[in-house]
Amino acid sequence: MRFKTPFFSAFGALLFGRRAHRPTPVIAEDIGQLQGVFGSHLPKGMLGATEKGSNSRHRLFSLEATFWAFLFQVLSPACACREVVRKLQAWWRGGRKRPATAMSASSAAYCQARARLPLTTLEKLFAALAATLQRRVQDAQRWLGERCVKIIDGTGFSMPDTASNQQRWPQPGGQKPGCGFPLIRLVGLFCLSSGALLRYAFGNKHDHENHLTRQMLDGLERGDVLLADRGFCSYGLIGVLLARGVDGVLRLHQARRQDFRCGRRLGANDRLVTWTRPRNARTNDPWQQERLALPETQAVRLIRYRVEVPGFRTEEITLATTLLDPQEYPAAVLADLYRARWNIELRFREIKTTMGADVLRCKSPAMIEKELCLNAIAYNLIRCVMQESAQRHDVDIGRLSFKGTLDGVRHFADVIHATTGQPRAQRQLYDDLLGCVDHPSSESHCEEFIRSWPQLPTGSYGELIRGARAVLHAFESVSETYREPIAPSASGSSCHRSGSHPSSRRSLYCRPTSGAIASLLDHTMRSSRQLRRPRPPSVL
């Protein structure tokens, strides 16, 4: 029983002891909306309270709560801090343990919690996710069954026009002051098999992509194969790759002279030449520190081939590679491998367009770095879900839709969170999510059907109408094929046709969309000769 005296109130704590401290509530139990989907892919214990520092206190916005709230904001386009606070308020009042105190509606506390989020912790989470994706890559997914192929390229991001951002990442010189936005230059290293973002480095407009590449060399392991465009093709980079035991397949730089009369002939348009180390280093050479350690000469294989696509200009491409054996690595195989370099453009499109990260939203350089890291973490988390779905259902991960996976995660996260405390129901819902991710959209099959459709004969206006009708008839037959009866699998986590292998099945979403039909008809019109007579409404 606690006593107090009306006299000398200051001695009350000394005579009867201090009043028991009421712990500050923490948003921890009900914050796991996305944790139910992504929690198994993140390492344990990295988001706990620290022993000392700003994140060691017992706060309302703990380190874990702030991370999941920031991740939700990154995965939700045009999501303001106020919207995140409203969601936290809903979690706060709708949890199983209803607190007696009310949560403030102001976003100031959440913004301060984001500022306290350690960048080193986020970088460790990103590195752990990248290592997890690489560890799960199967041998059948590697190039030639043994080589890991990685792709490197650069891109740019914009951000709010603040004084601090302009000082760190100034706008392009061609824009007048007050009319442009700060621009950050980023170079990313991706894995071809899993699509994971392994490393990234960023700088301002004065940092060349090769300077940023030097910061990511630890992401390359012995035996890897690096794909890059002509901007990365240099004597210094090739020498550094060979010193690390890494091979490269790069497009030849336009400034380097290519003479297929020199060197040793390995085949048609296939030469083995010798490059000499430049005598004088260029100004601001990114490989100046390694230049003296490079050998005087190194053998490089040049491969020239032509890309001929009906309806497009013929293009001639010359590759420079360190894979010198023409028997083990034929020229046609290397040319087909370089075609896969375009996958990095698709990966950047998924980050910048699908996730909406092309224009960053934070207003200080420190928060911009954290937002970039959170976007990289969110991208790799989506890739973890895609990889798990592809391996569980024996489907090529390249046939899965990143946008479809992102939409599935957004909607299934709410339902999984609603079954908190029911592990079996959550496991079943997560299996259903992987089953939905497993089914490619019908649009991808329509695009594949369009690309495989032969060129229609040019001729009169009647032939054009008959060609369009033939396309519609073929599309209807494909649609009828999609409407075959579907049999659920024994596990109940996915569905596929009975008697067909999952890797070769078509999508369950068999209804052709109006956009796909319009694309087919547009392809029909473009493949025929342009006619002066206007098209009647029946062809549309």
Which one-letter amino acid corresponds to residue 328?
E
Boundary (domain end) residue, out of 347, 376, 405: 376
Boundary (domain end) residue, out of 117, 137, 164: 117
Q: How many CB atoms lie within 10 A of CB 33?
A: 20
Which class for 481: exposed (0-12), middle (13-18), buried (19 or more C-beta within 10 A)?
A: exposed
176 and 266 in a single domain? The answer is yes
Token code pair at residue 354: 């699908």
Note whether residue 339 is domain-resident.
yes
List, in sequence order, every residue forming a beta bridge with 200; answer none if it has no partner: 188
Residue 430 has pLDDT above 50, yes or no: yes
Residue 128 has pLDDT above 80, yes or no: yes
Give me the CATH number covering residue 308: 3.90.350.10
For helices 63-75 and 108-116, give the axis angle rounded to 10 degrees.
Answer: 100
Write the pLDDT tens digit of every residue in 459-503: 444 555 555 555 555 555 544 443 333 333 333 333 333 333 333
At 37 the pLDDT is 82
Residue 386 has pLDDT above 80, yes or no: yes
95 and 152 in a single domain? The answer is no
Measure Cα distances from 529 to 198, 311, 458, 524, 526 in Å.
Answer: 47, 12, 5, 10, 7
At 34 the pLDDT is 77
Q: How many CB atoms lie within 10 A of CB 532?
A: 5
Note whether residue 423 is domain-resident.
no
CB distance 291 to 358 below 8 Å: no
Domain containing 61 equals 20-117
Number of domains in the chain: 3
Note whether residue 304 is domain-resident.
yes
Residue 310 has pLDDT above 90, yes or no: no
List, in sequence order, every residue forming a beta bridge with 225; answer none if it has no partner: 149, 247
105 and 136 in a single domain? The answer is no
64 and 138 in a single domain? The answer is no
Note whether residue 389 is domain-resident.
no
65 and 129 in a single domain? The answer is no
At 192 the pLDDT is 95
Token code pair at residue 351: 């980050």
318 and 456 in a single domain? The answer is no
Could you identify the residue written with the tokens 């420190």? 366
194 and 337 in a single domain? The answer is yes
Q: Which residue has the higher pLDDT, 402 or 441?
A: 402
Longest pairwise C-alpha distance within the chain: 109
Note whether residue 324 is domain-resident.
yes
The pTM of the full predicted model, rounded to 2 decimals, is 0.77
Q: What percent of the chain has pLDDT over 70?
A: 71
CB distance 370 to 117 below 8 Å: yes
397 CA to centre of own chain? 13
